[in-house]
Amino acid sequence: MAPRKRRAPAPATADDRSITVTLPPGAEQPLASQKEPLTALAPPSVAACSQHVNRAIVNNAELRANSQNVLSLIRAARPKNTTSAYEPKQKEFRQFCQRKQYQDGETVTEEKLLLFLVEEVVDRPLRLRSRKAAKDTPLSETRLSWRSVRSYITAVTDLYRSQKALGMNSHPSPREDNAREYIKSLQRRDAERQKAHYADKGRDTPPDGYSEDDLKRIAGELWGHTAQSAECHLRTLADLLLGHYMLTRGGDRR
């Protein structure tokens, strides 16, 4: 048998090589177990804590009082028609919360608002027949339009602002994305319903209140008085004709 050949040892790799560092005399290598001493922080005094708490109480009371004053100014400057339009709708929402017996009472939230709209507003028949409703349509089959539903959202949102100013409500505004998208869905529903019933889009618009002969007579009367006060009557005549032929609003015409 042929003698076995011995293999040469493998060269040392970079991982197997060790580096020796010589420290100068007097220097000691820090151990991993040694840690820097921690400096103890002195606890705040009782007087400082009490001062911060009192300052926070005073600031919160000042902010709350200012919010209530601003709310009072807003309500005092609000038109009476707005107040008379909001109060019945807010009363309906309060009665709805009382029937449901919520633990937080009449606190306005987005979930409560949406449930109130679905159960009490959207599918409710009209109390009085609308001029836009067809004469052969029973009153029990009529429904509120999307604009009327939006007025309920506006009224309940106003109640939320009052609760927010008084510190009674910490929830976000109920008029969030879900409420907006719900109004858009109702708007599409009304459009499909009017399209299916061939509703007249010109009904209850400004041209629907007078005939063409009435328009000519009014224009003639206004033009005939231009000699007395030309600026006033000419402006009224131009406003009437622009509103009739262009179907524009008063703000756009001005």
pLDDT of residue 134: 62
Distance separating alpha carbons of residues 84 and 207, to the nearest angstrom = 29
pLDDT of residue 201: 58
Q: Give, for all 254 residues of the chain, the pLDDT tens digit.
A: 555 656 655 555 555 555 555 655 655 555 555 555 555 566 777 788 888 888 888 888 888 788 778 878 887 888 889 889 999 999 999 999 999 999 999 999 999 999 999 999 998 888 776 666 666 677 677 788 888 999 999 999 999 998 988 888 889 999 888 999 999 999 998 888 777 765 555 555 555 567 778 878 888 888 877 777 777 777 888 887 877 777 666 666 66
- Amino acid identity of residue 248, one-letter, is T
Distance separating alpha carbons of residues 147 and 183, to the nearest angstrom = 8
What does the chain come to in residues?
254
Which SS3 state, helix, strand or coil, does residue 223 take?
A: helix
Q: Is 90 exposed, middle or buried (0-12, 13-18, 19+ CB in 10 A)?
A: middle
- Hey, where are the domains in the chain? 80-199, 205-254
pLDDT of residue 141: 72
Residues 223 and 237: beta-carbon distance below 8 Å: yes
Residues 125 and 140: beta-carbon distance below 8 Å: yes
pLDDT of residue 2: 56
pLDDT of residue 181: 93
State if pTM tops 0.75. no
Q: What DSSP element (H or E) covers 5?
A: none
pLDDT of residue 34: 53
pLDDT of residue 241: 81
pLDDT of residue 167: 84
Q: Is 79 exposed, middle or buried (0-12, 13-18, 19+ CB in 10 A)?
A: exposed
Residues 6+ apart with CB under 8 A from 145: 190
Residues 6+ apart with CB under 8 A from 10: none
